[in-house]
Chains A and B, each alone.
Chain A
Amino acid sequence: MSWQAVARKEFRDAIRSRWLHGSTLFFALFLGGAAALFFGVLIGAEGRQVSNLFGFFANLGVFSFSFPSLLALVLGFIALSTSYGSITGERETGSIKLLLSLPNSRLDAVVGKLLGRSGVVVAALVVGFLVAFAVLVATGTRLELGSFVPQVALTALLGMAFVSIGLGISALASSNREATLATMGLYLVFAVLWGSVSEGIPKLLNYAAGQVGAGGVSELTRVKIGVFLKYLNPLKVYETLAAQLYYGPVQARLVSATFGEQAALGPVLEESIPFYFTGSFLFVVLLAWIVVPAVVGYWAFERADL
């Protein structure tokens, strides 16, 4: 197994790209700047605690906003752009012939690329968090490390998930152009369309059940299916798990839920959380987003003629 060699090569290559330098600078300005703005300017001394920024959630029932979801959107974009060209690009220039002339298996190539590219994304992210941390210390903000540190780790995992998604696209696509379009399309799905589709599917099921005479699907089941589908989105999983770090599981499930979902799910969650809404289950979903796209990509890449 020489995936370490590939990973090191990928890391050394990607860390020198201007795109990554820009991303690092962006994370530093974004995370550090937000911390400085919140804790240096907006919030008085008594309210200076990490959860007021990194655990900032606002839910108006029809529209919700949170700092973690904003961070996730930006990170998803940067991680995808770091990896979507990692195989198509090498195919187009021909450097893949150097890579695979050496005793690297195609599995080594995929694993090495996943870890190497994840490494650079995480490095950029960590720089950003370090800058933010310095600001937190400087402004005398209460650190809540028990929540903040796991959140950094969670953010790193989300970065890996999007690196894996981009890598999978890159392995499946037959050209850079195709990979670019697929990546843009998929980003749109994750960032914008997923929620509406998740809400639409149970309605469709209900309609279909009514048509075949099986009676309707109960309101609660419909909501459960909808919310479950929403949680399959890595962005949503991240947001929910981050909320759980600060506010516990019950609150976290409702943190960006619509009024309808809150009304239906609230009592159920107060009683006990079904296993498919537990933190562990959501964590497994996040891990699956790291593993599955890379595995699918490997499956396609293994079969392809170069």
Chain B
Amino acid sequence: MAAIELDGVTKRFEDVTAVSDLSLTVEDGEVFGFLGPNGAGKSTTINLLLDFVRPTAGTVTVLGHDAREESVAVRERTGVLPEGFDVYDRLTGRAHVEFAVESKEVDADPDAVLERVGLADAADRKAGGYSKGMRQRLALAMALVGDPDLLILDEPSSGLDPGGAKEMREIVLSEADRGTTVFFSSHILEQVEAVCDRVGILRAGELVAVDSIDGLRAASDTDAALEITVDSSVDDDVLATVRGLNGVGSVERDGADALRVGCDSDAKTTVVTTLEDEGVAVADFTTREASLEDLFLSYTEDQGVGGEEAADETSGEAEPGDDDADEKPVEDAEVSR
């Protein structure tokens, strides 16, 4: 059974279309990362799952229930860490968790849950005095009450320090091991890479790619990042020419005398030759495997490749050897000329 099923979902707010004809299926037991720049529609999508907002068109099904008509049934089995929430200032941490226990009508020990998110010491303090990170943990504790079948986490690590983010990640992974489906949104890509089975990339309300991270790498024609040091500044015409080359995903200036090019590894030489043909003196260049960020940019930048198109063009070209290389995080290869 699919844990989440969106079918042709559109959400318009007055004159803004936040989500446009979105179809997406998240399988039971999957850890699904939902990526996209700010304003892409991630939170709106999550709000649709929880019946905070209602779709203009299309259907939303969560855990087999219609998200609109049977929202309470959905939320009985779903733990939620919302985005942009606040706590009840006058209630203690424990009172918050007790509220979750009573609302879910389960028999759970509030202190055990608080212990799990590292808030046991602060349980009797009023949540109004909590830091951003503690509020985030408190909401996670409320979400975890009653061992939900689905966890929906909207920007879970915002406000957490690196240690807190790591704990959050560990909790997510241990929940996933228990068989819980996890759906979370983030713009912190390393997090997604560390925990997700699949990711979906949303741009301007539209889903531009859904795949495993390796799959995205293979599908995108941006599997290498080229850092080029030049002697003089490069004018816009030249940048446009390079951008127009076959196999080039993105081209950006990196200061006055450097360029960053996301491209297919086969296109590296062409990029450098083209620059030289255009009269740009290339002093040095470095290639490395595209980071998730490069991939992300290639999908979300306007001048970047369209997701689906890229998938059609290049998925067949991915060689088995590339997959092995993909598993190592970042591999720098210095090439001098």
Is A4 located at the chain interface by the 8 A CB criterion?
A: yes
Is B166 located at the chain interface by the 8 A CB criterion?
A: no
Q: Is B103 in contact with A6, judged by CB distance below 8 angstroms?
A: yes
Q: Is A102 in contact with B82, judged by CB distance below 8 angstroms?
A: no
Is B76 located at the chain interface by the 8 A CB criterion?
A: yes
Q: A101's contact among B50, B53, B54, B73, by CB below 8 Å, is which?
A: B50
Q: Which chain A residues (273-306) contact chain B, with CB distance < 8 Å?
A: 305-306
Q: Which chain A residues (79-124) contact chain B, with CB distance < 8 Å?
A: 93-95, 97-98, 100-105
The verdict on A97 contacting B103 (CB below 8 Å), with A102-B75, A103-B75 known, is no
Task: For the complex formed, measure the closest distance between the CB of A120 and the CB atoms of chain B, giving whole angstroms.
Answer: 12
Q: Which chain B residues (11-67) contact chain A, with CB distance < 8 Å?
A: 13, 47, 50-54
The verdict on A97 contacting B102 (CB below 8 Å), with A12-B91, A306-B52 known, is no
The verdict on A9 contacting B91 (CB below 8 Å), with A94-B86, A98-B142 known, is yes
Is B105 located at the chain interface by the 8 A CB criterion?
A: yes
Task: For the complex formed, measure the closest distance between the CB of B130 and the CB atoms of chain A, giving whole angstroms.
Answer: 13
Q: Is B47 in contact with A306, judged by CB distance below 8 angstroms?
A: yes
Task: For the complex formed, measure the closest distance between the CB of A70 and the CB atoms of chain B, giving whole angstroms.
Answer: 31
Is B116 located at the chain interface by the 8 A CB criterion?
A: no
Task: For the complex formed, measure the closest distance between the CB of A4 and the CB atoms of chain B, giving whole angstroms.
Answer: 7
Q: Is B84 in contact with A94, judged by CB distance below 8 angstroms?
A: yes
**In the docked arrangement, what's the CA distance between A120 and B332, Å?**
65
Is B212 located at the chain interface by the 8 A CB criterion?
A: no
Give the A-B pair count, Cβ closer than 8 A. 86
Is A134 located at the chain interface by the 8 A CB criterion?
A: no
Q: Is A97 in contact with B52, judged by CB distance below 8 angstroms?
A: yes
Q: Is B88 in contact with A97, judged by CB distance below 8 angstroms?
A: no
Is B134 located at the chain interface by the 8 A CB criterion?
A: no
Q: Is B85 in contact with A95, judged by CB distance below 8 angstroms?
A: yes
B132 contacts across to A, CB distance below 8 A: none
A144 contacts across to B, CB distance below 8 A: none
Is A218 located at the chain interface by the 8 A CB criterion?
A: no
Number of residues from B at the complex interface, CB < 8 A: 34
Query: Most A CB atoms within 10 A — which of B50, B52, B80, B99?
Result: B99
Is B225 located at the chain interface by the 8 A CB criterion?
A: no
**In the docked arrangement, what's the CA distance between A94 and B142, Å?**
15
Q: Which chain B residues (103-162) contact chain A, with CB distance < 8 Å?
A: 103-105, 139, 142-143
**In the docked arrangement, what's the CA distance between A12 and B88, Å?**
10
**In the docked arrangement, what's the CA distance between A305 and B11, Å?**
11
Per-position binary interface string of chain A over residues 1-18, scored 1 when its CB falls under 8 Å from any chain B CB and 0 otherwise: 010111011001100110
B75 contacts across to A, CB distance below 8 A: 100-104
Q: B86's contact among A9, A16, A95, A100, by CB below 8 Å, is which?
A: A95
Is B283 located at the chain interface by the 8 A CB criterion?
A: no
A7: nearest residue on chain B (CB-CB)?
B102
The verdict on A98 contacting B50 (CB below 8 Å), with A103-B75, A103-B103 known, is no
The verdict on A9 contacting B99 (CB below 8 Å), with A94-B86, A95-B85 known, is yes
B51: nearest residue on chain A (CB-CB)?
A100
Is B87 located at the chain interface by the 8 A CB criterion?
A: yes
**In the docked arrangement, what's the CA distance between A59 and B105, Å?**
55
The verdict on A100 contacting B142 (CB below 8 Å), with A16-B90, A105-B71 known, is no
Q: A102's contact among B52, B86, B95, B104, by CB below 8 Å, is which?
A: B104
Q: Is A104 in contact with B90, judged by CB distance below 8 angstroms?
A: no
Q: Is B103 in contact with A305, judged by CB distance below 8 angstroms?
A: no
Is B189 located at the chain interface by the 8 A CB criterion?
A: no
**In the docked arrangement, what's the CA distance between A102 and B78, Å?**
8
The verdict on A12 contacting B76 (CB below 8 Å), with A94-B84, A95-B86 known, is no
B84 contacts across to A, CB distance below 8 A: 94, 97
Query: Most B CB atoms within 10 A — which of A8, A12, A103?
Result: A103
Show the binding face of A for B, using Cβ within 8 Å: 2, 4-6, 8-9, 12-13, 16-17, 93-95, 97-98, 100-105, 305-306
Show the binding face of B for A, using Cβ within 8 Å: 13, 47, 50-54, 71-73, 75-76, 78, 80, 82-88, 90-91, 95-96, 99-100, 102-105, 139, 142-143
Closest 10 CB pairs of A and B: A5-B102, A101-B80, A102-B103, A97-B82, A93-B86, A305-B53, A97-B85, A16-B90, A103-B75, A103-B76
Of the A-B pairs whose beta carbons lie under 8 Å apart in the complex, a sample of 21, sorted by A's number, is: A5-B99, A8-B102, A9-B91, A9-B99, A9-B102, A12-B91, A16-B90, A17-B90, A97-B80, A98-B88, A100-B50, A101-B50, A101-B82, A102-B103, A102-B104, A102-B142, A103-B73, A103-B103, A103-B104, A105-B71, A305-B13
Known: A98-B86, A98-B96. 19 other contacts (CB 8 A): A2-B102, A2-B104, A5-B103, A6-B103, A8-B102, A9-B99, A94-B84, A95-B85, A97-B82, A97-B83, A97-B85, A98-B87, A98-B139, A100-B51, A101-B75, A102-B103, A105-B71, A305-B13, A306-B53
